[in-house]
Every structure is written in structure tokens, then in C-alpha cells.
A = this chain, B = another copy of it.
Amino acid sequence: MSRTELTRAKHKERTDRAILDELLDSVRIGYFGLIAPAGHPVVIPATIVRDGDRILTHGSTGSTWRRQLAAGSPTCLTVATMDAVVVARTAYESSVHYRSAVLFGACRQAEDKAHALDLIVDGVIPGRSAEVRPHTGKELAATEVLEMPIAEWSLKVSDGWPADAPEDIAGPAWAGVVPLLSSHGEPLPAPDLRAGIPLPPSVRRLARTLSAPPC
């Protein structure tokens, strides 16, 4: 059996790459699984941004786990969102709407480090990279950008109504779905911001858009 084949809840499986991309584009944190040198599993959270057929993640060149990822250690990248609470008439049928994806593979250094960093900045704050000065050589040297190809993956989506049994539907309990919403709050200027510097377009747009789904 392939490691991306679901063993349970097959009706929740999705094989449409567009649904995977939508999920990857709506989360900001990915969870990289590794086998530590001592032999136990470890899961490292990291900011991730999708660019076409690759996932980008960056960090300091000094991180132990990142060095292991950079060396091509086999990894599993998992992302998930919780989109709603499913209020069933019974505890047993209570659940949540979620989307989750599990990707297997390995990371490698991104060849286009400066461009990839811009993509990561713009993934979190669309349009921001064009508003700031270019990266310096020193900054680039201190930063590592990894890419993981999107190649071997599985995807699950749970999005139904409560599935109570007829005898519970006939009972007194309420049932429905409560959506989980997220948004950006009002921008807070830094204490050391010089007077007279206006809010940039990227931040103005950000404050009007929905943020990533709750986790």
C-alpha cells in the first residue's frame, strides 16, 4: 500500500490538486516531521508559502532541525485547518469541518534565495517585498531558504452536516454548524516609527482581508 493511500474515511479523500493548493495557500504554518539523530520523531512548525509545485520555508542557517531538513532527510509536511464546529445531537456525531494534507518527500536549498524570500514575505503580506529595500548580501548569507517539491501527497476534507441517527433527529437536541472565522485586526505602529510615515498599501490591504483559518 502506498503511504499516501488513506486507510479510513475514504469519502473524505480529495485528489484534486486545486483543493490541495487552496489549502496550502490558506495556511501559514506547516509541520515538518523528522527522525531525530537519536531516533525519535520530532515535529517542527515553520512558516510555509507555496510557489507553484514547491513549498518554501526559511530560517536561520544556525538551526539544527533546519540543517537536517536542508541535508535532505526524509520528511513529512502536514498542514491542517479547522473551518467550523459541527454541533451534532450526540457527542458521538459531534465533529469539526477540517481540511488536512500530508506531503512526503525531502527539502533542498532553493537556488533562487532572494526571489524565494520575496515570495515568502509576499505570502504573509501580499505586495510587501516591493515596498522594502533589497536584501543585503549579509542578510542573504544568514538566511536559509528550503524548498520541498509537491509530489507525493494525500488530502482530506470534512465538510458535512451532522449525521445523527433517525432516533436522535427525532429527539430534542439542536444540530448545526458554527463557522470559524479569522481576520486581521487594526495595524499597530511600532513604538520607534518615525512621525509622518503613512500606512503602506500592503498593510492597508491586509487589514481588510481575511487571515488564515483558525487552528
Give chain A's interface residues, CB within 8 Å of chain B.
3, 7-9, 27-29, 31-36, 38, 40-45, 47, 60, 62-64, 74-78, 80-82, 85, 87-92, 94, 96, 98, 100, 102, 104, 117-118, 121, 124-125, 128-129, 131-133, 135-136, 139, 142-143, 161-162, 164, 168-194, 197-200, 202-203, 206-207, 211-215
A190 closest partner in B (C-beta): B175
Least Cβ–Cβ distance between A143 and chain B, in angstroms? 7
Copies in the complex: 2
- The answer on a CB contact under 8 Å between A78 and B215 is no
A3 and B36 in contact, given A47-B96, A62-B8, A181-B211 (Cβ under 8 angstroms): yes
Q: Which residue of B lies closest to A170 (CB)?
A: B194
In Å, the complex CA distance between A31 and B82 comes to 13
Chain B residues positioned under 8 Å from A92 (CB to CB)? 135-136, 139, 142-143
Q: Is the CB of A41 within 8 A of B75?
A: yes
Q: A207 — which chain B residues lie within 8 A by C-beta?
A: 178
- Across the interface, which residues of B come within 8 angstroms of A117, CB to CB? 91
